[in-house]
Structure 1
Amino acid sequence: MWHVKQKEIIAFLTKNHERWVTAGQLSDYCGCTTRTIRNHIAKMNQEVENLIQASNQGYQINPTIQLSALSNENEERKSRIFLELLKGSAEGVDIFDLSERLFISESTLKSDIQQLKLEITDKAIQIIIEQNRIKLSGPERSKRRYMISLLYNESDLQEQLKQTIQEMIGYISLEQLQQTILAVLRKENIRINQYSLNNIVLHYAISIERIRQGHIIKRNKEYVNLVERKEYQLAEEIAEMLAGDYEIHFSQAELEQLSLLFIGMQNEELANKEDEKLAEFVDQRIIETLHSVLAKVEKTYLIKLDDSEFFNKLAIHVQSLYYRSHYETFTRNSSLLDLKTGYPLTYDLSVYISSLLQDELDIWFNDDEISFIALHIGSFLETRKQHQDTITALLVVNDYHDLKEQLEKKINQDFGTAIRLTIGERERMNRELYDILLTTDRQLASQYEGAVFIHPFLTEKDSKRIEKRLSALKAKKEKERMYRYIDQFISRELYFNQIDPSELTPQEIREQINQRMVDYHYVNQGFSQKVEKREQMSPTSFPSGIAVPHSVEVDALKSGVAIMTLQDTIVWSTYAIKLVGMVAINKEEAAEFNEFFERFIEIVSEPINTRQLSLTEDYDEFISKLKLMVAADE
């Protein structure tokens, strides 16, 4: 079924079917990056071939495809079938009654059930057909867990939460349920993000509905010790308030299960204490481990994460994560795809931190939890961003009284950190020391290419001319820098041309590329194991058709990207891949390589670009096309 962002893309393109729509317009409408838009469109075109057409003018819905195909009815139906079986009695559901309710034939229903059986990975859940009755068997916990996963797939649980789940759950007021839960948490001064709140609301709603239908869960011996914990008291307090609203009784087993949702949540007052007070509510082992992990991050990635507020918030999160990992009750993050494709370096840094935490704390957690760590890191790094493309400008003024000082103040006020302004004399100008000349002397401006003539009192038109020139200079600098990086990091010796993948697995492809990188002294023999570890933590394939395998550490002998073009696609995790770029990063070159890598990923996130690069027949053609894409994107 379509992700909520994909539904929004379809809706917007359908509404504007008579014209081409740009990625920028779609990103504004959907509230995400253009890179995320491109990745979603690539994935949608994999599921429905040529669903969305692309050109240099933008995107357009394919008019030859029936709109009914866009609803993905088959996927929606399978979810409905599971929910109908879940609501059914112990005797099951009559196959003819169910087919009538769903407005499909018995044969279509049986076909959907067979597909559903394959999709349910939990072996404890079984769908059985006996004498024209369909039964759902298995532990109550497993059934609820699968129902939760259906609801998360159905919606992103931020914009669509109420409508989608309300239809499935029925009479329960989700708004009232959310307010009840929030009231108890606020009374206890508990901090909570929207993702966690959505997760708790879902579980309570399902518990109420299942209890009302007479389905109960059995006690789990592992959860017995939860009764004495604060989390159990929170679950119990909420349950007591809900019992009156819905005339329902929560058993001790239900409360133990629900108390898992509150594991690791912290009191707001505790979270705001000074660093030396952190040990009062975060285990000393976790504090020491996190200090050790962040020290390794600095050593490996050359990134200092040394802010005390950042450390405290991350420590609180890791403490909560440690508890959740013990019971494997992870919070879902509907922004996972956006983070992975929109911010690859931030996400990759969080994967590295996660791998260290898992090793040192002997725990395991999934992609969703990795993405929450990425949110912490991204938020911190955003506040530390530096303006690497500051333009140096020389101001030459035909001075009169304090005109020079006024003009300098006005330019600095209008352009801030985007420009580094110095005052010069006409007689002592050194062209190599500045990027742009700003002058009130029209004759002088005409003598120097790219100079900007401005009036003694800066006008709005003057400011626009300066802004336009700055933009052109930044684009030129970035293009020149990217050309240099492409030549530096993508070498002829690491280029594999049009390999036949029919007899290869993704792992065999990685091993083949790795050996070439070993032979040319880019990496040592142990590099392959680190690449596989990274792949197991979170696959490195993208919806646009490229895979970018790399190590969990920045420890290569030399930085480089090995390129392999494929004659045909190969399934790499969930995506069809036709281009592979294995990455090796040496920490001395990490700063430059990371700048190149961000831009490279942005380019290959566009399916059209990935396809064109995968069709190149030799190294020179690949480099030439990549540079053209850099220039076209300016």
Structure 2
Amino acid sequence: MNKKDMLLEYLKKQDGKHFISAKILGDSLGVTDRTIRNYVKLLNDEQPALIESSREGYRLSGTPPKVIKESGSGSHIDTRRFYILRRLIKSSDRGLDLYDLADALYVSDATIRSDIANLNRLVTKHELKIIQKDTRYILKGEEKLRRKLMIELINDSKPAKGFLEEEIQIFLGDISLQDLRKLSKNNFERYSILPNSYFFKNFILHLAIAVARAVDNGQLEQSSYTINNRNSKSLNVVRGIASDLYNQHKIILSEADKDELAILFNGQLKDEKIFIDDCINTNISKALEHAIQEISDVYMIDFNNENFKTRLLVHIQNLFNRLALNKHARNLNVLNIRVNYPVIFDIAVYLASVLSNDLDIKINDDEIAFIALHIGSYLNSKTSEDNDTKTVIITPNYLSQQSDIQKFIQEEFGDDLFIVGIYEDAGDISSIPAPELIITTESMEQFTNDFVGTDIEIVSIRKFTTKHDATLIRRATEKVKHKKFLSFLQEKIPELIRNDFLVNIHDNSSKAQIMRVIADGFQQKGYVNEDYLNKLNERERVSSTAFPSGVAIPHTMKYEANKTGLMILKPEKQVIWDRNEVKLIIGIAVNKEDSHMFNLIFPRIIELVAEPYNVNYLVEADTRKEFIDRLIDLIAEGDYFPG
């Protein structure tokens, strides 16, 4: 969606009740007042009298447009359609009423019918189907396929690295996010605090909100929490940050703001345990637990992460206090978040609706956008944790030993290792999710006993690190990556090779006949369209897909299948495939949305089947299970992982 259409979408949300100044609109879209005037002119040229103008700004005319432009297609799903799909998944066999949906979404029944048609094209790719009974729509298909669809949609919508930083910078305006990060980091280091990346990102988010409040003269007047130790390390860090903010930007944080920031350190400092439950309104805590459970159930992703819940609980308590004083936090970036991250925003809306009902409060879009930032940050961090090696450092906190080792690891390994905690004793690890790698200056014997029976890799290094230590860590990291890749193969390969996708050819079929078998097999299961065979032949005309090793891998030139799969064909007699005799054929269908996943596997398969003995090893498998086991063994051989 371009910014002109974003402007129209924004004005629609205001229901035409009030004029909105060009400055506010420009700030929301990140453009100048003049650009807003140009957008208005273009929109009114496309549909006369669509937008009214006055000295106060702009609003939609009394007759809003009936046609709403949609952005993109394919894997993109906008907020309204995701809302409908989410409710279809949850409603199960009862389904949803056409006219109830139209009323709930303030659109025509024709718009809902169009949305359902688009959604049906999407769910069909996942072996699901939306059927209509009278005026009700019902999503049909297995529960595991519904769950998989929801998870894939959310995974596709997870913000990329840098998402949080970009949104916070837009939110801060002229104040540099880099300055906030730098002065925070300096104060953390001054007190020898070594935060993990998730905590630091969330601290910066809360600091940015506090700074924005201060700029608008909306500082907190009273904290929700009581920190009895007024000389605590956490408060001293925050005071240092507040002092730097004043010296550099003349921004004043209230004492209540400082307390709110200090409470975020709960669980980060071993000698400063704050019992946050004693500081939180019990009703708010219960409401958030209910809301977290709801979004976990509805969106089929585990949001029951203690760090995430604690940070969000602090924010919701602040929100509740502000609403009690009739104070609202402005978020000029709400439109950008809503449009660019519709699924994330939908999750935030759902969570806010549960909180609103349980606490009898009204949460507006600005506040929902802040909640969306928390959710986006968590999903982003969860993605990093899934991809990177979760690492714990265990070493005495003597002089600068912990910080020196952390810096060494970050300089040598960058983003490959995700440091989830730094501790003095192995007993502290029980309070966090199990790491994949432990780096310690203690003896190996102690840790081998503590973690016997686990898959955790343990590396013992010197207190004063050397290149040899880096080599040891790198080897352990490679072992972890190999284990993760092996688990990935064990999950994905059986999904790619269905029970009926291993075919034994008993007659003297020709290349053309086998190509027809592949095309028909994929088409009957909904993996490809009718033109798939033509596209296979088009690829063969460019260059044969057969190898001298005795394998052929027919595929199209583009990834454009409806679903991704591998079809294995084993002829009793070798087939003449152009200039080669082949004894194994691997037919391929790839949906472009699976391209990243497939590209982790496909190059390795090509590399392996170029060798005749590997082809013979696969051909000798008698059953689908045996073929899959042999293929996984070959791919993972030699501790292989893609990288």
Does TM, scored on the shorter chain, surpass 0.5? no
Larger RCO (CA under 8 A, 6+ residues apart): 1
Normalization by structure 1: what TM-score? 0.37
Normalization by structure 2: what TM-score? 0.36
